[in-house]
Chain A
Amino acid sequence: MHMLQELSWKVGGQQGEGIDSTGKTFATSLNRMGYFIYSYRHFSSRIKGGHTNDRVRISTVRKNSVADELDILLAFDQETINLNARELREGGIVIADSKFSPTLPDNLTQHVHLYSIPFTKLAEENGAAIMKNMVALGTSAYVMGLSPDFCAPVIQSMFGRKSQKIVDQNMAAVRAGYDAMSSQNADFSGFQLAPATPDQHLLMIGNEAVAFGALAAGARVMPAYPITPASDVMEYLIKKLPSVGGVVVQTEDEIAALNMTIGAAYGGARALTATSGPGLALMMEALGLAGMTETPVVIIDTQRGGPSTGLPTKHEQSDMFAALFGNHGEIPKVVLTPSTPEECFYATVDAFNYAEKYQCPVLILTDLALSLASQSVTPFDYNYVQIDRGNLATPEALAAVEPGKMFKRYERTENGISPRVFPGQKGGIHHVTGVEHNEIGRPDEATSNHINMMNKRLNKFADIELQGSISYTGDNEPEVLVVGVGSSIGAIDEAVTRLRNQGIKVGHAQVKVLSPFPTKTLQEYMNRAERVIVAESNATGQLFHLMQFHGLQHKAMTSFLKYDGTPFMPKEVEAHLKGAVPAWQQ
């Protein structure tokens, strides 16, 4: 029997109806079995009502994007069918609650099959209507050739603390769904999943990986203001920081959040804040202060649809210019753009070290798909975590400060990085100000001082490319080089693999650092390619223009933009690449 190496499943219904927990139970159970999961939620900026769905891709190998087509759609209402059934592959199935007498759209009746199963009725028979999602999970298990007990460990950990009776009722509901599907006497051999690898992975969203990275990196203070899709970062740290003596301060606004982060970092803590576009806009003046005062802060920006309130629950990559150029005046900064939850973890660990090594603000730009998509993650390498607090004043240097003299916190050094002290240290008294200042931090408006100090700050990154600024896969001398950023890595890689399997030479460079921009490395990759296509989720081609801003040159460089609020799908990238080279279109 042919078994599937991957399967794509979606559950949909009204927001507030338990769709999230259905998807999460399903994904967590399969992740524990060793399958690789990529789960992406569609939701709206409201609490109850409105269509929501969770799309889960289950695979025997790692996939970092949603699948092009669906195999199974679970529907708790007719709207779910109307909106999503067209994504089903030829021969795909809809399993729907018979309570609402589901029907297929006329144009789909020849291509997909509908199974009407009494989700609600079976749930009521086993305890309560609320367990209809468990019935639905049971139907999925049967179709996919899984045991109905596939979700038992997860259900045990979800409800075990409440009572064994609730666990038993939920499992009975799963089995009722399983049995109802088996009594359909249909052939589901086209939905059987190949066995999983024995590897164990974690299931995380990017926000959790960032928050965990901050914890591991020694961050102990997080002032922040709630905002979608960043709130998970503070919510995770609110739970975990107290166990290590740290604190999350929920501030009155994002202005307070970053200023308090600056205060905490100046006070000697490793501190971060997290926000999304509207909050980043409010932080700009304080970002300038952090740059001017050389205070190490870490700012997480989970990009969402803009401008203004924009699309708060939808995907976009349109804050790159704001992060790079949004503050007034000119400051040094590091801007990191990880692509996967693993990279979110390592980038956050790096961010705190960079912030203290270079004594400047570090921004981590994720995007909604990376922030919120739940993905199977390779366990982290803890040895990677080394806390490096950078250039701190030595006891000898502090002892050598003459009485009545101030410490040269902004001493001009060859690499522009001066020794740092924390308030409370004897001999370290100095002044810190957003006003242009001299080596001891006193205001100094002299023309020569301004030039010297601007150069001191801005030259910290002269000729520096941070490690891992670009990842590259594919052919060495490609006909087309795709350049991407952020969460699109999975969709691009998949498209590139498909084309290479067709004998087409393609390369893929994913940019992981926007500042300092890896100009030299990227130009080298571009020099080897016939064409360059820059793929990004915004309307104006910010990465494309950033490459031009840094003087990157290529005779045939074009932009591939998507800004409908959803991330790239592999088939979209594949089609665009094929369309770009006339010879590939046959």
Chain B
Amino acid sequence: MSTINDFKGEKPTWCPGCGDYGVLNALQRASVELGMDPEDMVVVSGIGCSGKLSAYFGSYGLHTIHGRSLPTAQGVKVANRDLTVIAAGGDGDGYGIGMGHFIHAMRRNVNITYIVMDNHIYGLTTGQTSPTSDTGFVTKTAPKGAVEHPVHPLQLALASGASFVAQGFSGDIPQLSMLMKEAISHKGFSLLNVFSPCVTFNKQNTYEFYKSHIVKLTDDATYDPTSKAQALLRVSQEDAIYTGIIYKEDRPTYEEMAPNFSETGLATQDHSLSADELEKLLVQFQ
């Protein structure tokens, strides 16, 4: 059995109090509780403070380029379905520069988990407006307040065919690790949006802010996460921020739908074709 120590990578350099510590912690706990082995996991991250997760988590790690963790993670999973593949990034990485991939990954439904550390700000570049920054939010790039409407990732996810949509808060590790276990166990693309406060550059979306605004769907016995209608209703309400499993459905994955696609990892198979097989393939060119 693996322990938390087995999932420790490089010592983190995030600011003290950064929400991303909570994400790392919850992912380590979830991995232990799921009985995972570090060598069977790959964390594929983007660029930003959140992108450092691949180095700080003690599995195989692939730190890609800005906004492209999703296509890369899908490639890893397609090559080897036995791996547990987790894509990770921030709101700028996933909902700004990588938005196109976000939408298409959800409709494609490759069996990976996508953790977004959403802090409503660009942290690593020291405090610029992000796609999820609230209208009016003052930053270096919006000194008079952001004029654009924020992206709503959960609404987009539901509209784009995500088969698992959840939201967590890095100030609530027990719930967050439970959500990670559910997301990783879900067959298909799982989105886990995590409010992960930036204590250095965002003085508005703080731990206190979330603690006073979050409504936990896990506490609501009447909520049915298999109902898309209920999910759409909740995520479009503006007076509350919901955490928990917003929506889940059982849908075949891309790997299952791709005709005759290999069920075992491609890395170690012998892919050479016999002269006979090659000859047959050439008949169409005669």
Q: Is the CB of B65 within 8 A of A285?
A: yes
Residues on B with C-beta less than 8 A from A427 are 39
Q: How far is the CA of A431 from the CA of B64 in the complex (A)?
A: 11
A141 at the interface (CB under 8 A from B): no
State which of A253, A423, A428 has its C-beta within 8 Å of the C-beta of B76.
Answer: A423
Interface size on B, residues (CB 8 A): 58
Q: Is the CB of A263 within 8 A of B83?
A: no
A432 at the interface (CB under 8 A from B): yes
Using A263-B44, A431-B54 as known contacts, say yes or no to A202 and B62 having CB atoms under 8 A apart: no
**Shortest beta-carbon distance from B81 to chain A in Å:** 10
Q: Is the CB of A269 within 8 A of B282?
A: no
Using A289-B65, A432-B63 as known contacts, say yes or no to A249 and B273 having CB atoms under 8 A apart: no
Q: Is the CB of B71 within 8 A of A259?
A: yes
Q: Is the CB of A443 within 8 A of B286?
A: no
Q: Is the CB of B267 within 8 A of A424?
A: yes
Q: Is the CB of A256 within 8 A of B79?
A: no
B42 at the interface (CB under 8 A from A): yes
Q: Is the CB of A425 within 8 A of B39?
A: yes
- How many A-B pairs have beta carbons closer than 8 Å: the answer is 206
Interface SS of chain A: helix, strand, loop or mixed?
A: mixed
Q: Is the CB of B268 within 8 A of A431?
A: no
Q: Is the CB of B261 within 8 A of A245?
A: yes
Q: Is the CB of B271 within 8 A of A263?
A: no
B77 at the interface (CB under 8 A from A): yes
Q: Is the CB of A240 within 8 A of B281?
A: yes
Interface SS of chain B: helix, strand, loop or mixed?
A: mixed
A271 at the interface (CB under 8 A from B): yes
Q: Is the CB of A247 within 8 A of B83?
A: no
Q: How far is the CA of A423 from the CA of B60 in the complex (A)?
A: 6
Q: How far is the CA of A422 from the CA of B269 in the complex (A)?
A: 12
Residues on B with C-beta less than 8 A from A247 are 78, 258, 261-262
A220 at the interface (CB under 8 A from B): yes
**Shortest beta-carbon distance from B249 to chain A in Å:** 22
Q: Is the CB of A251 within 8 A of B268?
A: no
A493 at the interface (CB under 8 A from B): no
Q: How far is the CA of A495 from the CA of B259 in the complex (A)?
A: 49
A560 at the interface (CB under 8 A from B): no
Residues on A with C-beta less than 8 A from B268 are 268, 422
Q: Is the CB of B282 within 8 A of A379?
A: yes
A180 at the interface (CB under 8 A from B): no
A97-105, A160-168, A211-219 - interface stretch: A211-219
B58 at the interface (CB under 8 A from A): yes
Q: Is the CB of A429 within 8 A of B39?
A: yes
Of all chain A residues, the one with the shortest Cβ separation from B82 is A424
Q: Is the CB of B60 within 8 A of A429?
A: yes
**Shortest beta-carbon distance from A299 to chain B in Å:** 14
Contact with B along A19-57 (1 / 0, CB 8 A): 000000000000110000000000000000000000000
B74 at the interface (CB under 8 A from A): yes
Using A245-B262, A251-B104 as known contacts, say yes or no to A216 and B60 having CB atoms under 8 A apart: no
Of all chain B residues, the one with the shortest Cβ separation from A212 is B281
B40 at the interface (CB under 8 A from A): yes
Contact with A along B20-54 (1 / 0, CB 8 A): 00000000000000000011101010000000001
**Shortest beta-carbon distance from B105 to chain A in Å:** 9
Residues on A with C-beta less than 8 A from B40 are 424
Residues on A with C-beta less than 8 A from B162 are none
Q: Is the CB of A242 within 8 A of B79?
A: no
**Shortest beta-carbon distance from A253 to chain B in Å:** 6
Of all chain B residues, the one with the shortest Cβ separation from A441 is B61
Residues on B with C-beta less than 8 A from A3 are none
A203 at the interface (CB under 8 A from B): yes
Contact with A along B204-228 (1 / 0, CB 8 A): 0000000000000000000000000
Contact with A along B275-286 (1 / 0, CB 8 A): 100110110011
Using A267-B75, A285-B65 as known contacts, say yes or no to A424 and B80 having CB atoms under 8 A apart: yes
B9 at the interface (CB under 8 A from A): yes
Q: Is the CB of B38 within 8 A of A429?
A: yes
Residues on A with C-beta less than 8 A from B108 are 249
Q: Is the CB of B79 within 8 A of A426?
A: no
Residues on B with C-beta less than 8 A from A377 are 285
State which of B261, B271, B278 has its C-beta within 8 Å of the C-beta of A270.
Answer: B271
**Shortest beta-carbon distance from B206 to chain A in Å:** 29
Q: Is the CB of B83 within 8 A of A267?
A: yes
Of all chain A residues, the one with the shortest Cβ separation from B273 is A216
B251 at the interface (CB under 8 A from A): no
Residues on B with C-beta less than 8 A from A441 are 61
Residues on A with C-beta less than 8 A from B155 are none
**Shortest beta-carbon distance from A367 to chain B in Å:** 21
A226-264, CB < 8 A from B: 240, 242-247, 249, 251-253, 255-257, 259-264
**Shortest beta-carbon distance from B221 to chain A in Å:** 39
Q: How far is the CA of A220 from the CA of B269 in the complex (A)?
A: 10
Q: How far is the CA of A429 from the CA of B10 in the complex (A)?
A: 12
Q: Is the CB of A263 within 8 A of B104?
A: no
Residues on A with C-beta less than 8 A from B270 are 387
Using A289-B65, A431-B63 as known contacts, say yes or no to A260 and B71 having CB atoms under 8 A apart: yes
Q: How far is the CA of A500 from the CA of B76 in the complex (A)?
A: 55
Q: Is the CB of A223 within 8 A of B259?
A: no
Using A252-B101, A266-B76, A268-B267 as known contacts, say yes or no to A423 and B42 having CB atoms under 8 A apart: yes
Of all chain A residues, the one with the shortest Cβ separation from B101 is A256
A514-558, CB < 8 A from B: none
Using A32-B286, A208-B285, A252-B104 as known contacts, say yes or no to A266 and B261 having CB atoms under 8 A apart: no
In the A-B complex, list the 4 residue pairs whose CB atoms are closest, starting with the nearest.
A268-B267, A263-B75, A267-B79, A218-B271
Inter-chain pairs besides A216-B278, A431-B62, 17 sampled, C-beta below 8 Å: A203-B285, A215-B273, A215-B281, A219-B271, A243-B260, A247-B261, A249-B254, A260-B71, A266-B62, A267-B79, A267-B267, A269-B78, A424-B265, A429-B38, A429-B58, A431-B9, A432-B61
A-B residue pairs in contact (CB < 8 Å), sample of 10:
A202-B282, A221-B75, A256-B104, A259-B68, A259-B72, A266-B76, A422-B265, A423-B42, A428-B60, A434-B63
Q: Interface on B for A, CB 8 Å cutoff?
A: 9-10, 38-40, 42, 44, 54-55, 58-65, 68, 70-80, 82-83, 100-101, 103-104, 108, 254, 258-262, 265-273, 275, 278-279, 281-282, 285-286
